[in-house]
């Protein structure tokens, strides 16, 4: 008989026993609920981190009418709460405690599992279902009805939804997907992503202006956006305009343009005189720019071959 079965038997037996005491002033257990509050009494039952919280009434009550029944109940409790040698209590996944944090974007939430998600300094953005194929967790979250973007930060997972869907329905489903993943022993990424967060890496061919832009984005802009569940990716600098791509929470936030123009643009123009503005490129626009770039390169190669 497994522990959950014993718990159910013990709980039902307790309720039946208390019910027979209806002539006394004792009260039955009011509820058996799953609760992540730190004030709850919790017990770790197995390596799936099943946490059950008991919240009993303040007054004392008896759970049996006889000494024999009391002994049976005590033995069941000892068996129920005994230490399981198969459980590694030092493992992070056995102490998974997921919290959510609101963001400036009402259609995006940060899910903080309390453990490292990505290595320090690393992030990855999944703007669509196709891109999530390299991550079992992101793929599972994308399969939930209403999700349109997933982003991994160093210690959080931000999830974006369509406006017509409600967090009251979607949030518990995301909780379930995260818990199931961290108990599956699967790797976070099944393959190495194409972009290794090298957008702000200063290259030998970068001039002083580009190097300063990358440095400011990496040290001043990115940490602030990560706190809000988003990120910014440097794409290039041309004709005085800094091209960037917003990720995670920032990608669909109504206030992102105000932050981009009123905050980031003003800061870059203040410190770097060559900067005349900043422009955020969407995923579709980036695809078009890449297509135009490759076409231009092909034309240049054809012209060289003809000569």
DSSP run (H or E) holding 100? strand 99-102
Same domain as 111, residue 149: yes
Total of domains in the chain: 3
What average pLDDT does range 30-55 have in this prediction?
Answer: 34
Same domain as 173, residue 115: yes
Are 72 and 27 contacting, i.e. CB atoms less than 8 angstroms apart? Answer: no
What average pLDDT does range 88-112 have in this prediction?
Answer: 81
- pLDDT attached to residue 78: 58
Q: 32-41, 74-83, 172-181 — which one is most confidently predicted on average?
A: 172-181
- Does 274 fall in a domain? yes
Same domain as 144, residue 110: yes
Q: What is the largest CA-CA distance in the chain?
A: 104
pLDDT higher than threshold 60 for residue 294: no
User: Rounded CA gap, 289 and 71, in Å?
Assistant: 75
Point out the least confidently predicted range of 41-50, 246-255, 283-292.
41-50
Point out the least confidently predicted range of 120-124, 189-193, 226-230.
189-193
Beta carbons within 8 Å of 10's beta carbon, 6+ residues apart: 73, 76, 77, 80
- Does 187 fall in a domain? no
- Does 190 fall in a domain? no
pLDDT higher than threshold 70 for residue 65: no
Report the chain's mean pLDDT, rounded to a whole number: 75
- Does 238 fall in a domain? yes
For 40, the domain range is: 3-80
CATH number at residue 124: 3.30.1370.70
pLDDT higher than threshold 50 for residue 270: yes
Point out the least confidently predicted range of 8-12, 251-255, 267-271.
8-12
pLDDT higher than threshold 80 for residue 70: no
Same domain as 223, residue 297: yes
- pLDDT attached to residue 115: 92
What average pLDDT does range 71-81 have in this prediction?
Answer: 57
- Does 62 fall in a domain? yes
User: Rounded CA gap, 216 and 220, in Å?
Assistant: 5
Same domain as 102, residue 175: yes
pLDDT higher than threshold 80 for residue 246: yes
- pLDDT attached to residue 96: 79
pTM above 0.85, yes or no: no
CATH number at residue 246: 3.30.300.130
DSSP 273: T
- Does 16 fall in a domain? yes
Task: Characterize 215-229 residue by residue with b for buried, 16 or more Cβ atoms within 10 angstroms of its Cβ, and e for exposed.
Answer: ebbbeebbeebbebb
pLDDT higher than threshold 90 for residue 79: no
Same domain as 100, residue 73: no
More confident residue, 212 or 30: 212
């Amino acid at each position: 008989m497994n522990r959950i079965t014993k718990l159910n038997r013990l709980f039902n037996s307790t309720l039946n026993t208390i019910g027979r005491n209806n002539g006394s002033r004792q009260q039955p257990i009011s509820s058996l609920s799953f609760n992540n509050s730190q004030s709850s009494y919790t017990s770790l039952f197995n390596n799936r981190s099943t946490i059950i919280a008991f919240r009993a009434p303040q007054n004392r009550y008896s759970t049996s009418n006889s000494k024999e029944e009391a002994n049976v109940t005590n033995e069941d409790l000892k068996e129920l709460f005994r230490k399981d040698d198969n459980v590694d209590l030092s493992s992070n996944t056995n102490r998974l405690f997921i919290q959510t944090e609101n963001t400036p974007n009402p259609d995006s939430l940060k899910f903080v599992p309390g453990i490292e998600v990505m290595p320090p300094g690393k992030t990855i953005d999944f703007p669509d279902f196709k891109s999530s194929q390299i991550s079992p967790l992101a793929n599972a979250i994308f399969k939930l009805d209403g999700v349109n973007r997933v982003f991994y930060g160093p210690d959080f997972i931000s999830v974006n939804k369509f406006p017509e869907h409600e967090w009251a329905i979607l949030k518990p489903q995301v909780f379930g997907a995260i818990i199931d993943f961290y108990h599956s022993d699967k790797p976070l990424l099944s393959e190495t992503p194409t972009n290794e967060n090298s957008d702000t890496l200063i290259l030998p061919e970068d001039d002083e202006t580009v190097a300063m832009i990358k440095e400011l984005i990496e040290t001043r802009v990115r940490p602030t956006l990560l706190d809000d569940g988003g990120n910014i990716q440097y794409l290039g600098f041309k004709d005085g305009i800094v091209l960037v791509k917003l990720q995670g929470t920032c990608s669909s936030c109504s206030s992102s343009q105000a932050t981009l123009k009123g905050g980031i643009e003003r800061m870059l123009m203040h410190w770097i005189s060559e900067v005349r503005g900043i422009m955020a490129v969407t995923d579709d626009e980036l695809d078009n720019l890449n297509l135009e770039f490759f076409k231009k390169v092909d034309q240049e190669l054809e012209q060289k071959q003809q000569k």
